[in-house]
Structure 1
């Protein structure tokens, strides 16, 4: 049921409840029916399941088979060595996966521990997990909303929904039914959602959704998906399968030729095992892990914390960065950017002052804590800060203009008025939506409204949130302080344009992303005009082909229509969590590799399912951090560019290592494979190969992890993630260099026997 579209009375009927709440007996019955109001975990893997999962790689299975065969034919030492290498690699992977899945625990922490409800016609506190649909809950400033609710009545209620919707300002809530239409979460003003925070006022509300039926629960379901493989994991998987198949074919050919020649079966088995061990780069998983760990260590110094090691390399393959606006590209701090004061209207009591700055300073409820920090609504803080920076400080001004009464802001009037005592009478200052103030102006100012409206519209089109100020002087305090007498016949003082400003460093980072062939896309819960203005300022929108799309427009597109335009959309506004996930998946379906940045609960599903999820470390919620692959410790979008450079460097160095290790292994293969054709004994057994590889592959190969970045790494397009590791000239390089290494060895020292090699006798 769309509870935001129906009257409160109908909500009560559908839930079989009333404003006096449920009885305790009814609540217990519903608890059995609906279950507890808590986020449920998906079925978790056991420790043993996680460990066994590490042993399913095809290359690992080949090594395990080789170890078993070695044991059966009496080469127990080879078995021990091979199994030890397998277990080391398995443990490294196990600990990475074991630490990965904590997002559900973070979601649970967001839930309120207790809630105040009406039960048996009395207010009482219950565990939030015991709430059921139909309960009447009481909310006040400082509360976390414990379930999805439909407001019955509100009193100056404001809710911080930024973690859920991405909306940067607190939302004024009311109990009014909304007209028919399609409303994103941020526009459902008569609804409250589990996990959001009441910043001001109080309210009474019906519980309409609990547990997994809440918006937070729906997000939890979206998080409960399988981990997305990174480009490196995909490449190594293909590389491992291809190499393993080639090894098996090589061993079968060798075994078949030897059997036809009448070679002893035991010798053939030993040689086949040696071939398999020689071909498989058993040091590769460990060296790749170490290379990634070194890269992660470097990134920490650049203020990027890697939670999942393969993500280090993934950055080098990213083609799209889908970034949240609030707190990521912007400062997450409302700021007054432009003001306009009407020059033709002045109040005598303010003749020696700037009327607009005086109104900004006096008409707010902002206070300072002992440390001098501003406390209050983010919009009011911005206005008070702007006035204070111009030396108009409320505490100083109120010594001359003490506040004696006020009319608090409410969503119906869209105004707030403060009344101040002055020597000349009562100064009334009204702050509110500019369009509302125009209707309340004195007749002497009506003629100037068209000009004022043009100025306001011009600023609004730039994405600013507009607030106006008006005032008048009364001879004395009225007996009845009501809007009908106080907020009429006003003189327009001026207006202010506010915006959450872009980060300076984000602008440069966007330019560097484009130079590196990476397309930045803004995905935000904020309004279209605001999002578009920020995107244009940062350079995300830079051509006529770049599109801006709202969540409502996206909802009206089927998959085919969206697929046709997804690569041209640069800004998405007013989107919900499922749509963010849809955007990421649509780009992935177009063979793009997607990074998603964000800080809110609403970003978690997209962070989890993107090729690399990047959470904000300072302003990010725990849910976002646990779902992400990487955390920006400084919340700086520019840090992503540094991380991309590191990612490209690591991938380049891993390719160098594979070229090095496979060339050496190819030499061993050629030596073993060619020896029988020259009538020579087996030159190397499995245990000897493992020892040689330990000395010549692992430690020397690590030096390649310290190779500096290529000079053009950030001037070239990303490497196609679908491109296999064995591409271009690499296979031929490995073959001929391996032959150069192994050919002469296979023809040398013809008198050396298998037994002599086994004993180490010269």
Structure 2
């Protein structure tokens, strides 16, 4: 972390410095921070504190230098091995050029080719990484650039970085809070804290001290850095700045959270190390064997032995593996991007396919984060409204699913209820038209209030109120729990009407009458009991309830309302201070049930995930009832297990009980960021591969710690996007499930080309290993030859690995879905990408490949084991070149036949033989390249080859085809064994 800010907090609470500001009185907080709430800090004192505590800024990691990022691309055991081989080859070339310049190569072709390939791989990885990284720290973007504070008795605007502990923040609607602060004044103040706590609706604030320290979402007398004011005004004393704020603590958690390698990265690291160790062991064994059996009599013998080590290294290492893996994953990333899943880390594509648990935030991920009125309850009955979100499109339906007929009492009462709620309202619904003519609806103000306006627009409930204008307002406060607006009917009589909305039980106390069946009658105790029963029923189903009432004032001026006091000039004093004169004798009209609805498509996606063995876990800061209801609606849990475990309950658990809970429980509510992180850690300890989705800052640590973090692209905060490996451009949970499917297909394809590449490289290693040990038996070296004669040159092995291997492997990487990949369970963390059965297949094919290659070389030499052809003519050196060309060509074609066989571990290569046109194109390309390297004179010099006759080409192809035949027989045995086990 940089040292940009030593910011801290000054604990409040009088004599006890450990007392949280939320449980301390306003006077104690002011005293502890040495500030007068009426005048604020002086400019000199603010400057002194700024120097002491530093800027109010979140720290961020310094960017990694470009040169370092490029060098990190070479951090791989296989790369180290190839660099060592390059150095050995270069030294041997210089020595040979000095001692025997006539026979030395004109240029160190082996070294040049290896270095070029390593550079290309590094450039490809560097470019991909740069595309994925953001240039600036996202956490720093969350703070507002300027804030209003009280200094020297005046309200002034200062840079947010200059806010210090003890400053008095002056808060208004639309502001972003600059620091953590204790409220000292609040008028109808509500804050949106979803990004910090996960609470889906704005939180009403008040100034009274709390009886105990509560969760962040319940600290109603505190405001927090990075949250926003949706309604009202207030003042607050800053208690924490910079890294000492709750946002800063999350930043610290992010810094301390290690981003784990993906399973594929871990597996490739293991394969790289294993291959490196294996080739070193084989090289040492071969060289020691030669030293014991033949001895090193000359410096040339030592040079030849070093070149043999280079050949073994080149044969063992699939140089193109990193590039092929990157390209295949990149192609998968492009396919996902078309379906709105933006992947930042390529290896995360495969991880998604292995996911066994998807931990998801609720607000904005499983739900729309758009409060919606779903039901209206009146004296006559209730109606349900269709349509979700802020688009005013929907219909009214009865409880039995039938459409509510126009003019019926229940419809009239529902329209009256929604009309009253929309008029007693400070929210605003705006329509934004895009360039393509589509409409986007924007919520201005409290989402709960706007939801009532949307419902009123759906039912044309505002039409009867078109001639009414606002005269006065008695605002909502957390103590009053209701809002009243006085309207004047300018289109007709000019009479005043008071409309009110609020907590149903509170508003009901002010009602003496009820609107029932088109008539107004006195309200009875039975009516009150029915309303209370409906409140309980709606609350148990996770609805937030709002009651509506109105009162015709039967006067044309507020001054005529009985009980209203006038000032000396005969003007009406502040109506808000005379609420008792207005808020009485109300007529109860009904109430609404509001909820942040689940996304309609998510239920099907959850079901698909369950079919694939992927468990969905909801983790939210919202109310337990709301969490359990949404989880049940989406099929995450059934009604029998409709329960949410809270953060307080999790705090009371030891590790063993915590792990048991995470195994059994799929819904968590009222949780803090540390709880989310602990849940992810617990699931990972149990062997799960965890995907964690989120949008708010509170999700970021868990998103980063998960095996794959998924951020929301629309509603997600920048810090969450930075922490994630994947971003959903459409904020749609269903996109995750589609990405899981794509990840599984990609994983299958990765196994295909790994089987192909590794079996081909094992074949090359065995060819070099046994070719050296059996050089005399096979006729590769003649009697009296000194030194080590390698069966194939390092540059020939490089050609096979980089060119003839690459195209078929890439073609396998774009194979489509062969089986129903969502019908099988996810891979366990203990399952290897390359398991024992696959290694057996790889070694078997490698042995066959080496055998046919060495047989072909033997057939081209006199005095061999399988033939004794003295009719070839030419010098021994020319015969060796011919044999190498034959072996080189056989090995190329053997690998092309192996490409057909590697598409499946058990299915015949002839099943869907021509389904992958790209594979056949790759085979054709590789064949053409081999023909060129064998027949073009310039390439003959570079690669140590010579042209072949027609008969020799047929011999090469015939021997290479033995690999396909052997593979088919091997699969036949595997299928027979599997069938026997099933019976």
Report if TM-score (shorter chain) is over 0.5: yes
Residue in structure 2 matched with residue 659 of structure 1 by the alignment: 755
Q: Say whether the 8 Å CA contact 2:429–2:454 is kept in structure 1.
A: no
Q: Deviations over 1:74-109 (max 9, x none)?
A: 173212222222232233333444555549611111
Distance 1:586 1:102, change over 3 A: farther
How far is the alpha carbon of 1:500 from its aligned partner? 0.7
CA distance in 1, matches of 2:154, 2:20: 29
How far is the alpha carbon of 1:458 from its aligned partner? 0.9
CA RMSD of aligned residues (A): 2.4
The answer to whether residue 74 in structure 2 is matched with residue 55 in structure 1 is: yes
Q: 1:497 aligns with which of 590, 593, 597?
A: 593
How far is the alpha carbon of 1:341 from its aligned partner? 0.8
Larger mean Cα displacement after TM superposition, 276-285 or 37-46: 37-46
Residue in structure 2 matched with residue 729 of structure 1 by the alignment: 837
Q: 1:92 aligns with which of 108, 121, 124?
A: 124
- 1:262-301 mapped onto 2 (5 Å cutoff): 262-263=294-295, 264-301=301-338
How far is the alpha carbon of 1:503 from its aligned partner? 0.9
Larger mean Cα displacement after TM superposition, 314-323 or 168-177: 168-177
Q: 1:412 aligns with which of 479, 490, 494?
A: 479
Residue in structure 1 matched with residue 253 of structure 2 by the alignment: 222
CA distance in 1, matches of 2:169, 2:374: 40
Residue in structure 2 matched with residue 185 of structure 1 by the alignment: 216
Residue in structure 2 matched with residue 202 of structure 1 by the alignment: 233
Residue in structure 1 matched with residue 189 of structure 2 by the alignment: 157
How far is the alpha carbon of 1:385 from its aligned partner? 1.4
Distance 1:269 1:712, change over 3 A: same
Distance 1:590 1:370, change over 3 A: closer
Q: Say whether the 8 Å CA contact 2:419–2:465 is kept in structure 1.
A: no
Q: Say whether the 8 Å CA contact 1:670–1:746 is kept in structure 2.
A: no
Q: Say whether the 8 Å CA contact 1:238–1:724 is kept in structure 2.
A: no
Q: Deviations over 1:331-357 (max 9, x none)?
A: 11111111111249xxx9x99995323
Distance 1:268 1:141, change over 3 A: same
Residue in structure 2 matched with residue 750 of structure 1 by the alignment: 861
Q: Deviations over 1:495-520 (max 9, x none)?
A: 11000111111000000000000000
Larger mean Cα displacement after TM superposition, 56-65 or 650-659: 56-65
CA distance in 1, matches of 2:68, 2:684: 29
How far is the alpha carbon of 1:491 from its aligned partner? 3.3
CA distance in 2, matches of 1:140, 1:536: 38
Q: Say whether the 8 Å CA contact 2:482–2:502 is kept in structure 1.
A: yes
Residue in structure 1 matched with residue 548 of structure 2 by the alignment: 469
Residue in structure 1 matched with residue 730 of structure 2 by the alignment: 634
How far is the alpha carbon of 1:685 from its aligned partner? 1.9
Residue in structure 1 matched with residue 417 of structure 2 by the alignment: 356
- 1:232-311 mapped onto 2 (5 Å cutoff): 232-263=264-295, 264-311=301-348
Instruction: Using CA pairs under 8 Å that are at least 6 residues apart, name the structure with larger relative contact order, 1 or 2.
Output: 1
The answer to whether residue 251 in structure 2 is matched with residue 213 in structure 1 is: no
Residue in structure 1 matched with residue 673 of structure 2 by the alignment: 577
CA distance in 1, matches of 2:41, 2:799: 74
How far is the alpha carbon of 1:592 from its aligned partner? 0.8
How far is the alpha carbon of 1:164 from its aligned partner? 1.6
Secondary structure of the 1:711 match is: coil
Q: Deviations over 1:153-191 (max 9, x none)?
A: 0122221212222222122222221222x4221211111
Q: Say whether the 8 Å CA contact 1:304–1:643 is kept in structure 2.
A: yes
Residue in structure 2 matched with residue 438 of structure 1 by the alignment: 508
Q: Say whether the 8 Å CA contact 2:629–2:642 is kept in structure 1.
A: no
How far is the alpha carbon of 1:40 from its aligned partner? 0.8
CA distance in 2, matches of 1:135, 1:616: 35
Q: Could you tell me the TM-score, scaled by structure 2's length?
A: 0.74
Larger mean Cα displacement after TM superposition, 540-549 or 106-115: 540-549
Distance 1:445 1:437, change over 3 A: farther
Q: Say whether the 8 Å CA contact 1:546–1:569 is kept in structure 2.
A: no
Q: 1:538 aligns with which of 627, 634, 637?
A: 634
How far is the alpha carbon of 1:761 from its aligned partner? 4.9
Q: Say whether the 8 Å CA contact 1:616–1:625 is kept in structure 2.
A: yes
Secondary structure of the 2:165 match is: coil
CA distance in 1, matches of 2:276, 2:693: 37
Q: Deviations over 1:430-485 (max 9, x none)?
A: 21112212333338433422222111111111110011112333343422442223
CA distance in 2, matches of 1:546, 1:332: 22
Q: Could you tell me the TM-score, scaled by structure 1's length?
A: 0.94
Larger mean Cα displacement after TM superposition, 72-81 or 416-425: 416-425
Residue in structure 2 matched with residue 459 of structure 1 by the alignment: 538
Residue in structure 2 matched with residue 125 of structure 1 by the alignment: 157
Secondary structure of the 2:666 match is: strand
CA distance in 1, matches of 2:32, 2:808: 72
CA distance in 2, matches of 1:456, 1:529: 14
Larger mean Cα displacement after TM superposition, 691-700 or 649-658: 691-700
- 1:26-65 mapped onto 2 (5 Å cutoff): 26-65=45-84
Larger mean Cα displacement after TM superposition, 237-246 or 396-405: 396-405
Residue in structure 2 matched with residue 684 of structure 1 by the alignment: 792
Distance 1:23 1:262, change over 3 A: same
CA distance in 2, matches of 1:656, 1:543: 43
Distance 1:408 1:213, change over 3 A: same
Segments of 5+ residues of structure 2 without an aligned counterpart are 1-18, 95-107, 296-300, 382-408, 433-440, 513-521, 566-574, 781-788, 863-875, 885-942, 948-983
CA distance in 2, matches of 1:112, 1:547: 38
Q: Say whether the 8 Å CA contact 1:177–1:190 is kept in structure 2.
A: yes
Secondary structure of the 1:714 match is: helix
Q: Say whether the 8 Å CA contact 1:546–1:568 is kept in structure 2.
A: no
CA distance in 2, matches of 1:200, 1:640: 35
Q: Say whether the 8 Å CA contact 2:377–2:414 is kept in structure 1.
A: no
CA distance in 2, matches of 1:343, 1:692: 82
Q: Say whether the 8 Å CA contact 2:415–2:459 is kept in structure 1.
A: no
Greater gyration radius: 2
